[in-house]
Structure formats: structure tokens, C-alpha cells
């Protein structure tokens, strides 16, 4: 799989895609990541990529011409034509389903915004616009890294253990069950007995129930999409009914 990213700070991607699991997957040829400097497609002495918004208002917007030229030129650098992704808080919230869908693309191009965003006309180039969530970042580069990371780990061979992407959070619209490793007892905190029992049937049942409880507690919105039996639905409802309101702070 090939990724292309267009950005005004193309140097920021390299260390992340070259380290750890992504780094190994890249070294093994599972994916390629090519970063391109948007300023390559400017034609003035100052290599200008931004301008003030029509109608007034704060900050600067990315102007359309370099982006149109860059998307065209980078598309032509390889086959096939890329699936073109833009980023914006106004886009579609990114989920694991999107990662799974994008993992089926042969080639993806990210166009990373900066400043106050982009001239609206550039979105005509987009196959999709992705939001990372309801908060505002300084640029689309982190968004491109998050999507790359979530997609690459789904590619065959990227993770050592082929089982891992199947069991984890969101795979069946449930959050992952709690996991523990050694020591079995740490500073008075014990690992649940059943996980030490060696009874794999009982462990599987405990994990399923734990995932349902956790999802009901933390993300009840996910339960609508989950495939639960009658009794599992009742369990989830009991957890929701007894849920205490908790305040979040720093």
C-alpha cells in the first residue's frame, strides 16, 4: 500500500512511520509513505501557500492553486490514482470501520491543512473529508499519522500476531475486555482469579461479560451496533441503570 501526504511541514512524518511496528512494516515493504512539500507547487518568491479570507476574519487560509497543482502532480507520480483524503473538524468522524475500509485501498493521498483551514473549493478534490474528533488541531499532519497508523496495523503481516486485530476494541462494536500480565498481585491489587484458572471456556465467558460491562459503562452509544443475546442486553441495561455520574477533571 502506498501513502502520499501533502503538507507544508513534510519532515514531521518520518520518525513516526520509521519507528516500531510501522517502521518494521515499512522496512518489510508492507507500505510506503511519501511526504511532499506543498511549497513545491508555489510560483512566487516567498513560496506563499496562504492568504487572508474574503469577508474578513481572523487568520489565514490555504489558497487553492498550490493544492490543486500538488494533488494533480502527486497523483501522477505513481499508479493507481490515489483515494484522496482531506482533514477538517467539519469532516466525518473517523472510526475503526473507516480504518478497515481504507485498508482495502491500494493508494491513499492525505492533504494536510494548516492555519485557519482551506479555501472551500479545494474540497472538490476530496474523495472524503475526515475529522479526528470534536477538537481543533494546529494541522492535518497528526490526523494523517493517526489514519496511517490505524490502517497499517490492519494490513496483513503488519502485526506479528494475526489474531490481535480481531479481538480488540471496536472489532465487534464492543470495547476490549480488561487485560492483565505478571505479577498476579501488585501492591495489594489482584488480577481476577478466573484469568489464573487455566479454564479457557470460563475465561472466554468472563472476557465477553467484561467487554459488555465496560462498553455499557464507558460507551453505551456503541451497544446499538453490537450483536448481543437477550441476556447480554439485560446485563448491559443493568450496568447502565446502576451507572453513577462521574465528574472528569485533570
Other CB atoms within 10 Å distance of the CB of residue 36: 19
209 CB contacts (<8 Å, ≥6 apart)?
A: 232, 235
Of all residues in the shown chain, the one whose CB is closest to ligand SAH is: 113
Residue 134 phi/psi, 5° resolution? -85, 65
Report the residue number, 82 or 113, with the smaller CB distance to ligand SAH.
113
Q: Which is nearer to ligand SAH, 146 or 217 (CB)?
A: 146
- Kindly list the distances between the CA atom of residue 9 and the CA atoms of 12, 96, 111, 115, in Å, as whole numbers in the listed order: 6, 27, 12, 12
Question: Contact between 116 and ligand SAH (CB under 6 A)?
Answer: yes
Query: What is the smallest separation between the CB atom of 60 and ligand SAH, expressed in angstroms?
Result: 11
Tell me phi and psi for residue 7, to 5 degrees. -155, 155
Q: Which of 52, 77, 136, 196 touches ligand SAH by CB under 6 A?
A: 136
Q: Is there binding between residue 63 and ligand SAH (CB under 6 A)?
A: no
* Cell triple for 115: 492555519
Chain centroid, CA 148 distance in Å: 7
CB nearer to ligand SAH: give 31 or 87.
87
Q: Alpha-carbon distance 248 to 240, whole Å?
A: 18
Query: Could you say which of 112, 147, 152, 228 contacts ligand SAH (CB under 6 A)?
Result: 112
**Contact between 110 and ligand SAH per CB under 6 A:** no
Choices 7-15, 66-74, 119-127, 135-143; region in contact with ligand SAH by CB under 6 A: 135-143
Cβ proximity to ligand SAH, 33 vs 110, nearer residue:
110
d(C-alpha 132, C-alpha 129), whole Å: 10
How far apart, in whole angstroms, are the C-alpha atoms of residue 37 and residue 41?
8
Only segment of 87-95, 167-175, 181-189, 234-242 that touches ligand SAH (CB under 6 A): 87-95
Q: Is 93 in the site for ligand SAH (CB under 6 A)?
A: no
CB of 111 to ligand SAH, least distance (A): 8
For ligand SAH, which residue of 9, 73, 90, 240 counts as binding (CB under 6 A)?
Answer: 90
Residues 6 or more apart whose CB falls under 8 angstroms from that of 148 comprise 3, 17, 22, 31, 33, 110
Stretch binding ligand SAH (CB under 6 A), from 12-20, 82-90, 100-108, 153-161: 82-90
Q: Does 9 bind ligand SAH (CB under 6 A)?
A: no
Q: Is residue 113 a contact residue for ligand SAH (CB under 6 A)?
A: yes
3-state secondary structure of 45: coil
Q: Per-residue DSSP letters for 91-112?
A: EEEP-HHHHHHHTT-SEEEEE-
User: Under the rule (CB under 6 A), what is the footprint of ligand SAH?
Assistant: 87-90, 112-114, 116-118, 131-133, 135-137, 139-140, 143
Amino acid at each position: 500500500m502506498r501513502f502520499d501526504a501533502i503538507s507544508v511541514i513534510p519532515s514531521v512524518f518520518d520518525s513516526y512511520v520509521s519507528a516500531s511496528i510501522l517502521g518494521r512494516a515499512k522496512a518489510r515493504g508492507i507500505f510506503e509513505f511519501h511526504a511532499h512539500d506543498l511549497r513545491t507547487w508555489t510560483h512566487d518568491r516567498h513560496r506563499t501557500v496562504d492568504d487572508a479570507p474574503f469577508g474578513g476574519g481572523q487568520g489565514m487560509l490555504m489558497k487553492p492553486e498550490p493544492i490543486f497543482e500538488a494533488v494533480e502532480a502527486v497523483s501522477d507520480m505513481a499508479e493507481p490514482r490515489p483515494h484522496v483524503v482531506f482533514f477538517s473538524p467539519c469532516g466525518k468522524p473517523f472510526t475503526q470501520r473507516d480504518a478497515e475500509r481504507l485498508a482495502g485501498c491500494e493508494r491513499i493521498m492525505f492533504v494536510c491543512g494548516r492555519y485557519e483551514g482551506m479555501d472551500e473549493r479545494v474540497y472538490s478534490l476530496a474523495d472524503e473529508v475526515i475529522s479526528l474528533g470534536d477538537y481543533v488541531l494546529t494541522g492535518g499532519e497528526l490526523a494523517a499519522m493517526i489514519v496511517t497508523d490505524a490502517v497499517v496495523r490492519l494490513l496483513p503481516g503488519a502485526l506479528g500476531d494475526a489474531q490481535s486485530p480481531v479481538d480488540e476494541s471496536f472489532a465487534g462494536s464492543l470495547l476490549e475486555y480488561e487485560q492483565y500480565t505478571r505479577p498476579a498481585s501488585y501492591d495489594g491489587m489482584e488480577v481476577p482469579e478466573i484469568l489464573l484458572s487455566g479454564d479457557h471456556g470460563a475465561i472466554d465467558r468472563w472476557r465477553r461479560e467484561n467487554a459488555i460491562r465496560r462498553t455499557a459503562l464507558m460507551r453505551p452509544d456503541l451497544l446499538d451496533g453490537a450483536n448481543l443475546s437477550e441476556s447480554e442486553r439485560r446485563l448491559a441495561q443493568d450496568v447502565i441503570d446502576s451507572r453513577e455520574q462521574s465528574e472528569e477533571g485533570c
